[in-house]
Structure 1
Amino acid sequence: MLTVLLLSAASPAARAGCSRPLEVPLAPLGFSIILDGDKASGVFVNFIEQVAASAGCELRMHPVPRARLEFMFENGGADVILAATRSEKRDQSGRFIPLVQSRAVMVSLNGSRPAIHSLAELIATPGLRVAVVRGFDYGPAYQNAVEQLSRQHRLFLEKDPLEIARMLKAKMVDATIMPASALYGAAVVDKRVSDITTRLRIEPLGELPWHLGGMYLSRRLSQADQAILEKAILAANRNHALLNAYRQYYPAELVAAGTRAL
């Protein structure tokens, strides 16, 4: 049984909105999702709490590894995935609610290495070791690159962005592929690796364009609950609640590099 981190603070009258509490597993993701003991915070946590209070829905938030979160969503154990990009695999289990545009980039530490502009160049650069988070998915081109790097024995699959930040600092790997904000958010709050946040090198890759970012609602939710949630989510986003939350947590240049309004 997973430990419940928190429950939305909706009033008794408001709790009539959703037919049941919503299961929302959480995996650390920079400042988008922050887990600290029995507390959860971050851009998307703050956003979904606003949505839940408005819609009258209770939230049950649980800490899980990212790969476990994906498994739970596919098998009906999760009602919502926060901070998600759209993928064909997730579309089989849920309905995507777009909120912002985001993109993954190559992130490394400052150095004299020639610039890399594409996944093809990355794959063709021998000796460059790449770490990615298990369960992250940025589309077919990304998955193809991951497969090729794995065949070249240059790929490291890790549990979360913080582990990758540690590996970058220790020079165990040379680069990662994810939104720059995800790596920054994981590193800046950990004294062991916070110093790398001033040395991040961000390189957009041609095959990884802007994608819609947002959250997924499980198809196993009732139609009524889905409608209630979607209405509240879109209303909050029209007021720029999510983008404003990004700007509160991240430096402006990182937001510009990886996130923009629809």
Structure 2
Amino acid sequence: MSGRRRAIAAVAALGLLASVLAAQAGCSRVLQVPVAPIGLGVTVAANGQVGGIYPELMRHVASGEGCDLHFTVVPRARQELMFESGLADILLPARRSPRRDQYGVFVPLFQSRAALVSLDRGAARPPLPELQSLADLQQHHELRLAVVRGYDYGEAYQSLLAAMAAQGRLQQATDPISLVRMLDAGLADLAIVAPTIVTGALRGDARLKDWLPRVQVSTVEELGWGESGVYLSNRSKLGVADRQVLEAGLVQLAKSGAAWREFQRYYPEDSLRLSVRPR
């Protein structure tokens, strides 16, 4: 299917889903949704308009349920803190984790995985050693790691961050673009992040598109596939009925295949192979 036909099919499927759900009751109040830029998953225009894959999916579900969303743009770490403290009704996008399960109900939409991401260093700096595991990374004491503050890719990831921080080898960025700039400036040698976040961020910034061919990706066993989607808060003032309505809409969205088609509309299929796949 061509990109244009796929885009038309995705829009039609989302529109049909919204119309099917439109007859149901609306939410009891405006829902608070803080977001942070994350590649093409969440974008923020110069005028502050929030877009991207996850906000558009959430808007379709909310409009079908008669719910209103209020998006605010914050750093990712603050977004997580607002979710944990009950100031956010919805956390998106989010990979499922035991810590986040304490604060909300998770609705899976895709499967995703993080990887080791670096930039081609050219002739000015020696190439990076080939790493087979996170243990390899720890043993190469000359290597420095960069991550985005607030991201969570599971227990192995969190254990690595603690070890690297204790050794003074960890750099934390506020967003994906800052992460890539750290790599380019030599402040870190490689990053752990979902590759689509990096390529999406570069594609969305006209000043940095030329860096795309420099992106290098390698996967390791400890950073396996996990569920990604949306959390609905159980700590905020989001009522049980509202949460159940939104959960049902998101589940139907995933089952319809519209969520995956929306991802394909934004990304070339070959760029999804290593880091995102349908459930």
Does 2:274 align with 1:257?
A: yes
2:30·2:67 contact (CA, 8 Å) conserved in 1?
yes
CA distance in 1, matches of 2:48, 2:170: 33
- Which residue of the partner structure matches residue 35 of structure 2? 26
Q: Give the alignment's TM-score, normalised by structure 2.
A: 0.86
Does 2:48 align with 1:48?
A: no
- Which residue of the partner structure matches residue 8 of structure 2? none
- Are the structure 2 counterparts of residues 170 and 192 from structure 1 closer, same or farther at C-alpha, using a change threshold of 3 Å? farther
Among 208, 217, 224, the alignment partner of 2:232 is 217
Does 2:217 align with 1:202?
A: yes
**SS of corresponding position for 1:202:** strand
Does 2:158 align with 1:143?
A: yes
CA distance in 2, matches of 1:206, 1:88: 20
Does 2:187 align with 1:177?
A: no
Does 2:198 align with 1:188?
A: no
CA distance in 2, matches of 1:188, 1:201: 15
Identity across matched positions, percent = 41
Does 2:44 align with 1:35?
A: yes
- Which residue of the partner structure matches residue 108 of structure 2? 98
Which shows bigger deviation, 171-180 or 183-192? 183-192
- Which residue of the partner structure matches residue 6 of structure 2? none
Cα offset for 1:41? 0.8
2:40·2:204 contact (CA, 8 Å) conserved in 1?
no
Among 230, 241, 244, the alignment partner of 2:261 is 244
Amino acid at match of 1:251: P
Which aligned runs of 4 or more in structure 1 are off by greater than 4 angstroms? 13-16
Which shows bigger deviation, 38-47 or 110-119? 110-119
Cα offset for 1:15? 8.8
Amino acid at match of 1:34: T
**SS of corresponding position for 1:117:** coil
Cα offset for 1:189? 2.1
- Which residue of the partner structure matches residue 132 of structure 1? 147
- Which residue of the partner structure matches residue 14 of structure 2? none
Does 2:81 align with 1:71?
A: yes
Does 2:250 align with 1:233?
A: yes
CA distance in 1, matches of 2:203, 2:190: 17
- Which residue of the partner structure matches residue 172 of structure 2? 157
**SS of corresponding position for 1:173:** coil
Any stretches of 5+ residues in structure 2 without a counterpart? 1-17, 122-126
2:76·2:175 contact (CA, 8 Å) conserved in 1?
yes
Cα offset for 1:195? 1.7
Cα offset for 1:16? 4.2
Cα offset for 1:139? 1.0
**SS of corresponding position for 1:215:** strand
Amino acid at match of 1:236: L
CA distance in 1, matches of 2:39, 2:23: 31
CA distance in 2, matches of 1:217, 1:186: 26
Q: Deviations over 1:139-187 (max 9, x none)?
A: 1110110011112211101101110111222222211101001111112
TM-align CA RMSD: 1.8
CA distance in 1, matches of 2:270, 2:164: 29
CA distance in 2, matches of 1:84, 1:208: 16
**SS of corresponding position for 2:34:** strand
Amino acid at match of 2:249: A
- Which residue of the partner structure matches residue 122 of structure 1? 137
- Which residue of the partner structure matches residue 91 of structure 2? 81
Among 159, 167, 176, the alignment partner of 2:182 is 167
Amino acid at match of 1:24: V
1:128·1:174 contact (CA, 8 Å) conserved in 2?
yes
